[in-house]
């Protein structure tokens, strides 16, 4: 089987597995608390360090991995500038190349509880398959857990600055580890929550990581149009995202900027404790049959503090383009992030001069879009690492394509979906 076909299958497998985890009914009982491995114990006090500076690392066994993998803990910064520890994984090919370009993977929604940190299970078949597809191409793979997953404090779910810093800082960590042989050239890739993180990593890159060379950003189904989030999710199977977002913003911004008692009733505040108990399968079960409107005092979009945060964390409100080209990928029948959301974001970013391409695959779901998009996405990444300007020449089979602000654009069919 060709590398392209292998990557298509493995990436699809990872994202399908993620989506199925989010939808699984799971047990309604609170999962038993399982102590984290000793590695996740953050030194106290934490010796100050620069973002990306390594705190600790350990090799991890991942049977079937086409390379070597480390679990890492590294310095990053919370939204308020506090020095924090974040964990993640770094994998590198076992070859003789002096350096390897980096793909930094921003993972999709897993949950908020510490047990939802992807690095806890690096030998999972999905993680190994994702890494192998990129390792076989000669890329180093970095995969942050994000702030608060496996480390102290609640995870600031959908808080863009936090996600973006964690995604960028682990690239710095990889570059500083001689055994990884990482170059300073990198691409950010994420889907769903990871697509949101990828957008903010691109947005922050020039100021936060000027020593690195961002070559491109791939954002799959990135959440945007955040002011409409509450209304869109009320009757959705994913309505528990409302609670996750409330908890995440409060974790990232605190009680003054993100006051929970202005948007949730006492019953809503009590339900919010669920986010610390289990991952998405558990939260799906815990929200089954609930009318979330009865847990709310108000739509967050109507509360000044929350309205401001929803706008601040919406990539559709960016006012400055980032230098690297952007690729947006979306399924035309996405059941979680409406396809119109990325269209509105695309149009806004076109207006500020963002170099970008958007692929929409009619009939594809939130996770199902990965399978048909993976081969062309890999080609797009290869061109960006080779320094080829994005001209829109890569057109996936069965995709609707639109571009803007390309240096030498190829005319592609336009659409309004």
The model's pLDDT over 15-50, given as tens digits with 9 standing for 90+, comes to 333 333 333 333 345 666 678 999 999 999 999 999
> What is 3-226+312-404's CATH topology?
Rossmann fold (3.40.50)
- Stated as kind and residue range, the H or E segment containing 378 is helix 370-385
> Which pLDDT belongs to residue 71?
97
pLDDT for 134 beyond 80: yes
**69 neighbors 57 (Cβ within 8 angstroms):** no
Mean pLDDT of 140-148: 98
**221 neighbors 195 (Cβ within 8 angstroms):** yes
pLDDT for 297 beyond 80: yes
Strand partners, 143: 89, 105
Nearest to 75 by CA among 133, 20, 151: 151
Nearest to 339 by CA among 297, 381, 369: 369
Mean pLDDT of 66-80: 97
Work out the percent of the chain whose per-residue pLDDT is above 70: 89
Domain extents in the chain: 3-226+312-404
Work out the percent of the chain whose per-residue pLDDT is above 90: 80
Q: What is the pLDDT of residues 261-273, one digit of tens each?
A: 999 999 999 999 9
∠ Cα 230 234 236 (to 5°): 120
Buried residues in 39-68 as b, exposed as e (16+ CB within 10 A): bbebeeeeeeeebbbbbbbeebebeebbbb
**70 neighbors 57 (Cβ within 8 angstroms):** yes
Mean pLDDT of 133-142: 94
* CB-CB neighbours of 152 under 10 Å: 14
Please confirm whether the linkage preceding 157 is cis (ω < 30° from 0). Answer: no
Nearest to 371 by CA among 232, 193, 191: 191
> Which pLDDT belongs to residue 408?
65
Mean pLDDT of 194-201: 98
> Which pLDDT belongs to residue 74?
98
| Average pLDDT score, the chain | 90
**384 neighbors 187 (Cβ within 8 angstroms):** yes
> Which pLDDT belongs to residue 30?
62
Mean pLDDT of 325-341: 96
Residues 6 or more apart whose CB falls under 8 angstroms from that of 46 comprise 55, 83, 84, 85
Please give the residue that has the higher pLDDT: either 309 or 124.
309
pLDDT for 384 beyond 70: yes
Cα–Cα distances in angstroms (integers) from residue 321 to residues 140, 171, 329, 354, in the given order: 27, 22, 18, 5
> Which pLDDT belongs to residue 130?
83
The Cβ-side half-sphere exposure at 339, using a 13 Å CA radius, reads 21
The structure's pTM equals 0.91
């Amino acid at each position: 089987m060709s590398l392209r076909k292998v990557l298509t299958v493995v990436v699809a497998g990872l994202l399908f597995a993620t989506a199925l985890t989010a939808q699984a009914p799971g047990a309604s009982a609170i999962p038993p608390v399982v102590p984290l491995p000793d590695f996740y114990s953050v030194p106290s006090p934490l010796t100050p360090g620069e973002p990306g500076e390594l705190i600790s690392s350990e090799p991890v066994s991942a049977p079937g991995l086409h390379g070597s993998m480390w679990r890492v803990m590294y310095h990053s910064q919370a939204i308020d500038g506090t020095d924090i520890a974040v964990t993640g994984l770094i994998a590198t090919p076992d070859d003789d190349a002096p350096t390897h370009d980096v793909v930094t993977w921003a993972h999709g929604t897993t949950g908020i509880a510490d047990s939802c940190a992807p690095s806890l299970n690096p030998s999972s078949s999905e993680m190994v398959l994702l890494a192998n597809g990129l390792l076989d191409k000669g890329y180093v793979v970095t995969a942050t857990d994000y702030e608060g997953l496996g480390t102290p404090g609640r995870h600031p779910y959908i808080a863009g600055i936090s996600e973006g810093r964690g995604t960028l800082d682990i690239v710095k960590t990889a570059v500083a580890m001689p055994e990884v042989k990482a170059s300073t050239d990198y691409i950010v890739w994420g889907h769903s929550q990871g697509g949101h993180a990828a957008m903010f990593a691109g947005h922050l890159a020039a100021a936060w990581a000027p020593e690195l060379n961002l070559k491109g950003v791939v954002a799959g189904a990135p959440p945007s149009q955040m002011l409409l989030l509450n209304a869109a999710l009320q009757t959705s199977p994913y309505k528990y995202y409302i609670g996750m977002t409330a908890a995440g913003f409060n974790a990232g911004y605190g009680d003054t900027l993100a006051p929970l008692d202005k948007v949730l009733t006492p019953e809503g505040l009590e339900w919010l404790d669920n986010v610390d108990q289990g991952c998405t399968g558990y939260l799906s079960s815990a929200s089954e049959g609930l009318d979330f409107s009865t847990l709310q005092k108000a739509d967050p979009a109507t509360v000044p503090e929350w309205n401001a945060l929803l706008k601040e964390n919406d990539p559709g409100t960016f006012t400055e383009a980032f230098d690297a080209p952007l690729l947006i990928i979306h399924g035309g029948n996405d059941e979680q992030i409406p396809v119109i959301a990325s269209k509105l974001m695309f149009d806004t970013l076109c207006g500020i001069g963002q170099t970008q391409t958007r692929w929409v695959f009619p009939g594809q779901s939130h996770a199902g879009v990965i399978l048909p998009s993976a081969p062309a996405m890999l080609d797009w990444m290869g061109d960006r690492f080779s320094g080829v300007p994005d001209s829109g020449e890569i057109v996936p089979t069965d995709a609707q394509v639109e571009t803007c602000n390309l240096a030498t654009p190829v005319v592609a069919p336009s659409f309004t979906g």
